[in-house]
Amino acid sequence: MNRRAFALGLLAVAALAACGGEPAARVITAEGVKRETPDGAPVRNLQPALAAFGHTLFTAVAEPGTNTVLSPLSIAYAYGMARAGADRATGAELDEVFGFPSEGPHSAFNTLSRVITTIDGPPPVPDRDAVRDAQDAGGEPEPPVVSLASGLFVQDGLAVKQEFLRTLAAKYGAGARQVDFTGNASDVIDAWAEKQTAGRIKKVFDRLDPGTKLVIANALYLKADWATPFTDPPEENAVFTRADGTTVNTALMRQEAAFGYASGPGWQAVELPYAESGLAMWILLPQAGGSPADRLSPEALTETAGGLKKTRVRVVMPRWDFSTGLDLGESLAGLGLRSTGYSGISDGLFLQQAAHKVNITVDEWGTEAAAVTGLAFAVSAPPPAEAELRADRPFAFAIVHLPTRVPLFIGQVADPTATD
């Protein structure tokens, strides 16, 4: 997959993990099942769907005057795992909202995860206190770090169906960690999340309902240096005009080099490659008063990809460092995902909470980003009784061998308080 095709599929970056000492949790895997070697399932079946889903969700939740970052990949990956245990109605809605291929997303996600990741296991924690002189062009850029993790946390004693466990083991490399949701489960999940995001995300759910029985989590982390850092002196105290016409003063990074560049009526785009990788950031700039979200539509991204041509460009842009938190249950319900049944994971299981947290830092040297998608499930109460048998008067009983209907014991209860 070339850089442009990858960039279309990877609209944002996401992650879930833990730093420091991770509380112990027993891991259960499907017996005899190892993660499958990717079979080359076509990622192209996912790419248009991820682009379309990302734009639809972004336009639904991003307010014009608010910084926003999402990870379509992380969200879709977590719901892809859940898709393996969705009931019929929920599965149909998942396929409609996410555009999952007819054969299911699991093989394609297995292939995609191997294509984009650079390491197995949690990412190393970078030295964020190190001082780097952006005007010193010396030194080579570091190779990128891209990690993707899948987590499954299960209430001790919950019966999880083997077919679901087999799919997660074979396609996502995930085993089930037994936890106690009435005890320290949140600590276990948060520690895992912090580790998988190199310390950038420390809490998955603001509050996890104690009735939770199972959590599915996805984590994606990115740390990448620019192939060409911004070594020109920054433009200090420059004016940045907000969507409502008001202004703020900020420093703008600057550099001039040959980049992929495209433009059209009312927009410009530049491709900033990351070092030693097929990764790049596209800066998508609408004309004054235009909508940034419009440039994230699948059609606009395709137009950008097709129009990029090597051009000597002077790039001037700010640093940024912000985060976004999202209640996915509410947001995705607005897109048509209203069914919550996942009885293919465990009998009576339903999706109760869905959270997405993302943060991103961009400076003269590159980008570090992480996001988390967590899905919390509970077990529904049994349906109301259709009849009632209230044994509050004398009754008979029989202990019967059911295959032959031979009574082993028979009797009656006339007074349950009597012992003779």
The full set of domain ranges for the chain reads: 3-226+320-379, 232-318
Task: Specify which residues 157 forms β-bridges with.
Answer: none
**Binning pLDDT at 50, 70 and 90, where does residue 37 land?**
low
Instruction: State mean pLDDT over 248-255.
Output: 92
| CB-based contacts of 187, cutoff 8 Å, min separation 6 | 23
pLDDT surpasses 60 at 32: no
Which of 33-37, 242-246, 348-352 is predicted with the least confidence, judged by mean pLDDT? 33-37
- What pLDDT digit, counting tens, does each position of 374-392 carry? 999 999 866 666 777 777 7
More confident residue, 20 or 141: 141
Q: Which CATH class is domain 3-226+320-379?
A: alpha beta
- What pLDDT digit, counting tens, does each position of 389-419 carry? 777 777 565 656 667 666 665 556 677 677 6
Q: Which two tokens stand for residue 386?
A: 């259709």
Predicted structure pTM score: 0.86
Q: Tokens 């490399």 sit at which residue?
A: 173
pLDDT surpasses 80 at 139: no
Nearest to 179 by CA among 150, 204, 215, 217: 215
The whole-number pLDDT of residue 393 equals 75
pLDDT surpasses 90 at 250: yes
| CB-based contacts of 247, cutoff 8 Å, min separation 6 | 239, 240, 241
CA–CA separation, 173 and 168 (whole Å):
6
**Binning pLDDT at 50, 70 and 90, where does residue 44 land?**
confident
pLDDT surpasses 70 at 62: yes
Q: Which two tokens stand for residue 370?
A: 């992480």
Nearest to 122 by CA among 201, 196, 181, 184: 196
pLDDT surpasses 80 at 35: no
The whole-number pLDDT of residue 115 equals 85
| CB-based contacts of 123, cutoff 8 Å, min separation 6 | 17, 145, 147, 196, 197, 198, 221, 223
pLDDT surpasses 50 at 2: no
pLDDT surpasses 90 at 372: yes
- Listed in sequence order, the DSSP H helices in 84-159 are 88-98, 106-116
The whole-number pLDDT of residue 412 equals 65
CATH classification for the domain delimited by 232-318, as one of 2.60.120.260, 2.30.39.10, 3.40.718.10, 1.10.579.10? 2.30.39.10
CA–CA separation, 150 and 15 (whole Å):
9
At 185, which helix (H) or strand (E)? Answer: helix 185-196
How buried is 345 (Cβ within 10 angstroms: 0-12 exposed, 13-18 middle, 19+ buried)?
A: buried
Which of 61-65, 201-205, 314-318, 327-331 is predicted with the least confidence, judged by mean pLDDT? 61-65
Q: Quick check: 361 and 367 in contact, CB under 8 A?
A: yes
Using only the alpha carbons of the chain, give its radius of gyration.
26
pLDDT surpasses 90 at 262: yes
